[in-house]
Amino acid sequence: MIIQKIVIILKTHKTASSTVLNMLYRFGEERNLRFALPLGYQLRYPLPFNAHRVKGYRGPRAMEFHIMGNHMRFNKPEVEKVMPADTFYFSIIRDPVALAESSFAYYKEVAPAFRKAKGLGDFVDDPNKYYDPRLCNNHYARNLLWFDFGMDNNANFSVELAQYGEAMIRQTFRLILVSQYFDESMILLRHALCWPLDAVVSFSLNARQQKSGSNSVMSGSWVGKAAMLPNLSLTDRQREKLRQWNALDWYLYKTFNRTFWEDIDKFGRAQMEQEVALLRMRREILGRVCLKDGGKPVEAYRIRDKNIRPFQSGVVKILGYELQMIRPEIQYKDLLDSKQFPRAVQPQLGQQGQGLLAAGGAFVRHDSSRTGEKMMMGEAEMERERDWDGSRIMKSNQTLKGVREKERLR
């Protein structure tokens, strides 16, 4: 087997992490890598991660896993029982105000603190009126990033505590991406992992409908839900109060957003602009070829195949795509599970050699003979494939090394 760089994404909530996980699913499936999959759909979340929640885990180093990425509350000692010492850890963060807006919409019927409030502004005006840290699922309402990184989201803010959390994250995580700059994040990620450009082409997953348009065609059940959409409007004063309420998350965001742009400066602003333009071009091309409805996400009820409709939570509508074939996060996890742990009879998923479009955006081929690839045998077993511009991507037993024929990208 050709082994790629071993990867973990800490899949933080409401940060576009589902889109990133789909890329990892797609990349690993194409290369027959082994996933550390949960027994269900999350790795014991919201409880701290435990190694025995990984399907097939039989003890430290008993089985090699290459990719881990389902929702977990980070617990490094337990993670290290599953993943090797040279694992590449990365995660993604989001502005706490935007994250709170998305969380309130998505988890309003799940988090008691949100369920009691008429709107997000109502919650922000007096959060202690609604928030009880003892109640299950209220972690969605305060310092959710801090919680996902495995720390106490109810701790009182202090500079010393915030700096300690920052140091703990930097000690483990090689790269922290920023969801507001998703395309730039994907370029940094692809170079950190030495992936070809098409590996990070994606379409947004788990996006919510912002509002019901006047020209939307909706069934009766959806009309009823549209009238119940939560009020997310905030004044500038409320936004500032929300940052104070999520002070630990706000510290993380400011700190790692600054680091993010320092990484881009090291990479080169001009080079970043060029690669982002190429990434968007590839996304547009694939969208025109493979997506219906002009490449725009649509309401779940409009997707004819019920098996690929995105999971719905609360009263907001989570959008999906009408494609020839698509694999949303939950359905994709089930497919990978069935491949890693096959039963006696497997359903036929498609004809050998046919391509399909995974939800992340690039083609997945069932056959092993991809254009531009050639197997080479020797002391260091390697495989060649082509990047978007024809340059060779060299894959070794632990990492990918991009080699341009005319010039080397930074």
Q: What are phi and psi of 127, to 5 degrees?
A: -60, -35
- Picking from 32, 41, 19, 12, the residue whose alpha carbon sits closest to that of residue 334 is 41
Q: What are phi and psi of 90, to 5 degrees?
A: -150, 165
Task: Give the residue from 211, 272, 232, 192 showing the smallest Cα distance to 8.
Answer: 192
Residue 320: pLDDT band (50, 70, 90) is very low
Domain limits, the chain: 7-340
Residues above pLDDT 90, as percent of the chain: 58
Please count the CA atoms within 13 angstroms of the CA of 90 that sit on its side-chain side. 24
Spell out the SS3 assignment of 50-64.
CHHHECCCCCCCCCC
**Whether residue 332 has pLDDT greater than 60:** yes
pLDDT band at 82 (very low <50, low <70, confident <90, very high): very high
CATH 3.40.50: does it fit domain 7-340?
yes
Q: How far apart are CA 365 and CA 355, in angstroms?
A: 5
- Structure-token pair, residue 79: 């993670």
How would residue 181 be classed by pLDDT, with cut points 50, 70 and 90?
A: very high
Residue 145 pairs in a beta bridge with: none
Greater confidence, 317 or 115?
A: 115
Residue type, 324: Q
User: For the chain, what's the residue count?
Assistant: 410
Is the pLDDT confidence value at 209 over 70? no
Lowest mean pLDDT among 46-60, 190-204, 235-249: 190-204
Q: Binning pLDDT at 50, 70 and 90, where does residue 57 land?
A: very high
pLDDT in tens, 150-171: 999 999 999 999 999 999 999 9
Q: How confident is the model at residue 331 (pLDDT cuts 50, 70, 90)?
A: confident
The pLDDT assigned to 365 comes to: 36
Q: What distance in Å separates the CA atoms of residue 176 and residue 191, rounded to the nearest whole number?
A: 14
Yes or no: say if 326 and 359 are a contact pair by the CB < 8 Å rule: yes
69: its two tokens? 């990425």
Range with lowest mean pLDDT among 2-11, 297-306, 375-384: 375-384
pLDDT band at 94, cuts 50/70/90? very high
Residue that is written with structure tokens 């950190």 in the block? 192
Strands across the sheet containing 67-68: 67-68, 7-10, 88-93, 175-178
Q: How many CB atoms lie within 10 A of CB 63?
A: 13
CA distance 407 to 410: 9
Q: With cut-offs at 50, 70 and 90, classify the pLDDT of residue 329.
A: confident
Q: Is the pLDDT of residue 208 over 90?
A: no
Structure confidence by residue, pLDDT tens digits, 216-238 = 333 333 333 444 667 899 999 99
pLDDT value of position 348: 46
What local confidence, expressed as pLDDT, does residue 403 receive?
34
CB atoms inside a 10 Å sphere around CB 405 = 9
Structure tokens at 53: 């929640």
Q: What average pLDDT score do residues 117-145 get?
A: 97
* pLDDT tens profile 336-392: 999 999 874 444 444 333 333 343 333 333 333 333 333 233 333 333 455 555 555
- 149: buried, middle or exposed (CB in 10 Å: 19+, 13-18, 0-12)? buried
Our measurement of the distance from residue 27's CA atom to the centroid of its chain's CA atoms, rounded to an integer in Å, reads 13
**Model confidence, pTM:** 0.75
Q: What pLDDT sits at residue 293?
A: 60
What would the two tokens of residue 169 be? 């994250």
- If one compares 120 and 328, the residue with the highest pLDDT of the two is 120
Out of 190-194, 227-231, 251-255, 294-298, which region has the weakest mean confidence (pLDDT)?
294-298
Q: Distance (Å, rounded) from C-alpha 264 to C-alpha 184?
A: 8
Confidence at residue 294, expressed as pLDDT on a 0 to 100 scale:
53
